[in-house]
């Protein structure tokens, strides 16, 4: 039986090396997600239908991008970063308040130090005071606040890039599971074909024994092999069902929703670029690296903000309104004031914040240097794996064809009575082994091509182009 795996989606088998929570990658680029990772979960928004729905690969990716919990969490982090930026920006924007009040009061002038002639009553009132006023405060110079705004702006940019990284990872995770489901179906078909072969060999052995050509041991051996193939098929069916359940979770399908897969996937061409070109491109397009740059810039702005605490700040305040005993008698009044705050001693708080900012900046710079080295390693590993798996696929394809020929000749020899069915059993195992090797080699070769695509940081856009989706 000849098994052909679609190759385009195999690029999705390699996981993006992005600094998204709970996501790690192996050398081959395949994702290593913990069982509690949000990228393996989804948020259903529909109700299950009684009939199975067809889900092609692009539809699976689109559903995952819309419902995957990892993407939703990353998008919420952007909202939090936007909120933090607005909070820091409030210290630089005008602060305007309006107030309307009306009081009725009676006061003791003597309590306020007014000298009163003898016999003059100290109590005044009761009387009304109406006041309607608008107050405005504005920062004129505050280097500390402006640096904090810059830091939060860079954090917001990093959060937006992290969303892109999360989307790339979800494309890869959902595509990888889709591929695994297709491979699991291929293994089921292979197991069914081997079971049919085992059943035919048993019938052949039974007929030859009845004709007195072979011994009873050949029938027993065929029965044992048939049981082995039945177990293999049961295991393959179970693996296929579990893989489809995992894919349904990532896509956010409602519980119990049945669906079918599609093998109509175009091939993924081998990337045409040198190792150096791939590395340089990755440094300009990978969202995780660009987000790391933004985090370095945010740390630099944080240090500037800490250092600016030594500088004076300038603020102005003004108010305008009407005041009087009644609304008709109220008169317009205003006040304008300016203030310069000069820090003299704050107990070492600024020095401590500078030490913290310096440590954070060194950490962020170390992270980005490590990420550059990681990108270089990923590119080199992908090129090496591409060459190795291509050779493995060539050998596995030849081995699969030879195993099929071996089984055919063994059955012919057994039917002619010149050999026992030991050769058939051995040939059946060779067919099973070579089929699995071919599936794994196909997966590995195309995964290596996908791994190189992954390090370039354009996973979502490229997959949509390859699969015919809208960018």
Instruction: Check whether 218 has a pLDDT greater than 80.
Output: yes
| 36 within domain boundaries | yes
What are the tokens at 420? 């026992």
Q: Please report which confidence band the pLDDT of residue 345 belongs to, taking 50, 70 and 90 as the band edges.
A: confident
The pairing of strands 123-141 and 313-324 is antiparallel
Distance CA 287, CA 131 (A): 56
Instruction: Check whether 349 has a pLDDT greater than 80.
Output: yes
Q: Please report which confidence band the pLDDT of residue 468 belongs to, taking 50, 70 and 90 as the band edges.
A: low
Question: Contact, 178 vs 71, CB < 8 A?
Answer: no
Instruction: Check whether 444 has a pLDDT greater than 60.
Output: yes
What are the tokens at 348? 């070492």
Q: What is the pLDDT of residue 53?
A: 92
**DSSP H or E run through 101:** strand 95-108
The tally of domains found in the chain comes to: 1
Q: Residue 281 — φ and ψ, nearest 5°?
A: -70, -40
Mean pLDDT of 277-300: 91
Using alpha carbons, select from 132, 62, 121 the residue that is nearest to residue 99. 132
Of 295 and 5, the one with more pLDDT: 295
Of 468 and 15, the one with more pLDDT: 468
| 99 within domain boundaries | no
Distance CA 215, CA 227 (A): 20
In 308-348, which ranges are continuous DSSP H helix?
A: none
| 343 within domain boundaries | no
| 89 within domain boundaries | yes
Close Cβ partners of 60 (under 8 Å, ≥ 6 residues apart): 174, 175, 178, 247, 251
Give one DSSP letter per residue of 161-193, joined into a string: HHHHHHHHHHHHHHHHHHHHHHHHHHHHHHHHH
For residue 444, the tally of other CB atoms under 10 A from its CB is: 22
* pLDDT tens track for 66-121: 998 989 999 999 999 999 999 999 989 999 999 999 998 888 888 888 787 877 88
| 128 within domain boundaries | no
Sign of CA dihedral 149, 155, 158, 160: negative
Q: Please report which confidence band the pLDDT of residue 333 belongs to, taking 50, 70 and 90 as the band edges.
A: very high
Mean pLDDT of 365-369: 94
Which residue is associated with the tokens 């005044």?
A: 124
Close Cβ partners of 338 (under 8 Å, ≥ 6 residues apart): 140, 314, 315, 316, 317
Instruction: Check whether 28 has a pLDDT greater than 60.
Output: no
Mean pLDDT of 297-324: 93
E strands, 221-359, are 259-260, 313-324, 331-341
DSSP category for residue 456: T
| 395 within domain boundaries | yes
Distance CA 230, CA 236 (A): 10
Which residue is associated with the tokens 């354009």?
A: 458
Using alpha carbons, select from 231, 256, 234 the residue that is nearest to residue 244. 256
Q: Could you list the residue range(s) of the whole structural domain that residue 293 is in?
A: 8-94+145-313+365-466
Query: Lowest-pLDDT range, 4-8, 105-109, 207-211, 423-427?
Result: 4-8
| 73 within domain boundaries | yes
* pLDDT tens track for 383-414: 888 888 888 888 988 988 898 888 888 888 87
Q: What value does the CA radius of gyration of the chain take, rounded to a whole number of Å?
A: 37
Q: What is the pLDDT of residue 241?
A: 93
Mean pLDDT of 263-290: 81
Question: In whole numbers, what is the pLDDT of the chain averaged over residues?
Answer: 83
Of 449 and 83, the one with more pLDDT: 83
Question: Contact, 390 vs 443, CB < 8 A?
Answer: no
Q: Please report which confidence band the pLDDT of residue 179 belongs to, taking 50, 70 and 90 as the band edges.
A: confident
Tell me if residue 68 falls in helix, strand or coil.
strand
Q: What is the pLDDT of residue 400?
A: 87
Specify the pTM: 0.76
CATH code at 48? Answer: 1.20.1600.10
Tell me if residue 19 falls in helix, strand or coil.
coil
| 349 within domain boundaries | no
Mean pLDDT of 341-353: 88
Using alpha carbons, select from 292, 294, 250 the residue that is nearest to residue 70. 250
Per cent of the chain over pLDDT 70 is: 88
Q: What is the pLDDT of residue 12?
A: 39
The pairing of strands 95-108 and 53-54 is unpaired
Instruction: Check whether 365 has a pLDDT greater than 60.
Output: yes
Q: Please report which confidence band the pLDDT of residue 61 belongs to, taking 50, 70 and 90 as the band edges.
A: confident
Q: What is the pLDDT of residue 266?
A: 63
């Amino acid at each position: 039986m000849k098994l052909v795996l679609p190759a385009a989606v195999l690029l999705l088998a390699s996981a993006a090396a992005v600094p998204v929570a709970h996501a790690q990658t192996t050398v081959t680029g395949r994702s290593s997600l913990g069982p509690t990772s949000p990228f393996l979960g989804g948020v259903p928004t529909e109700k299950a239908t009684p009939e199975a729905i067809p889900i092609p690969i692009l539809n699976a990716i689109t559903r995952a991008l819309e419902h995957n919990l990892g993407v939703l969490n990353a998008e919420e982090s952007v909202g939090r970063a936007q909120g933090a930026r607005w909070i820091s920006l409030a210290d630089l924007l005008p602060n305007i308040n309006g107030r309307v009040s009306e009081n009725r009061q009676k006061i003791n002038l003597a309590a306020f130090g007014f000298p009163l002639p003898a016999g003059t009553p100290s109590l005044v009132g009761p009387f009304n005071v109406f006041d309607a006023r608008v107050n405005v405060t504005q920062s004129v110079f505050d280097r500390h606040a402006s640096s904090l705004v810059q830091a939060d702006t860079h954090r917001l940019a990093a959060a937006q890039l992290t969303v892109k990284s999360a989307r790339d990872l979800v494309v890869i995770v959902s595509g990888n599971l889709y591929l695994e489901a297709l491979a699991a179906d291929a293994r089921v078909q292979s197991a069914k074909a081997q079971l049919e072969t085992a059943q035919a060999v048993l019938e052949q052995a039974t007929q030859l024994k009845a004709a007195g050509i072979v011994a009873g041991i050949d029938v027993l051996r065929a029965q044992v092999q048939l049981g082995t193939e039945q177990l293999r098929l049961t295991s393959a069916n179970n693996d296929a069902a579990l893989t489809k359940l995992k894919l349904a979770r990532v896509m956010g399908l409602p519980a119990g929703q049945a669906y079918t897969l599609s093998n109509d996937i175009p091939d993924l061409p081998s990337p045409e670029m040198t190792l150096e070109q791939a590395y340089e491109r990755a440094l300009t397009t990978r969202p995780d690296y660009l987000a790391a740059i933004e985090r370095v810039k945010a740390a630099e702005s944080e240090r500037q903000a800490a250092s600016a605490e030594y500088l004076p700040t300038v603020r102005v305040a003004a108010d305008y309104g009407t005041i009087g005993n009644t609304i008709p008698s109220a008169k317009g009044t205003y006040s304008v004031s300016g203030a310069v705050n000069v820090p003299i001693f704050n107990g070492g708080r600024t020095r401590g914040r500078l030490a913290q900012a310096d440590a954070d900046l060194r950490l962020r710079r170390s992270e980005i240097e490590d990420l550059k080295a990681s990108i270089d390693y990923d590119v080199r590993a992908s090129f090496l794996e591409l060459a190795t798996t291509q050779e493995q696929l060539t050998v596995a394809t030849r081995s699969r064809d030879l195993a099929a020929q071996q089984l055919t000749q063994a059955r012919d020899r057994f039917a002619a009575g010149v050999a026992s069915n030991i050769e058939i059993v051995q040939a059946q195992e060779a067919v099973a082994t070579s089929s699995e090797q071919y599936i794994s080699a196909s997966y590995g070769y195309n995964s290596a091509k996908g791994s190189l695509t992954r390090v370039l940081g354009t996973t979502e856009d490229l997959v949509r182009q390859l699969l015919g989706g809208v960018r």
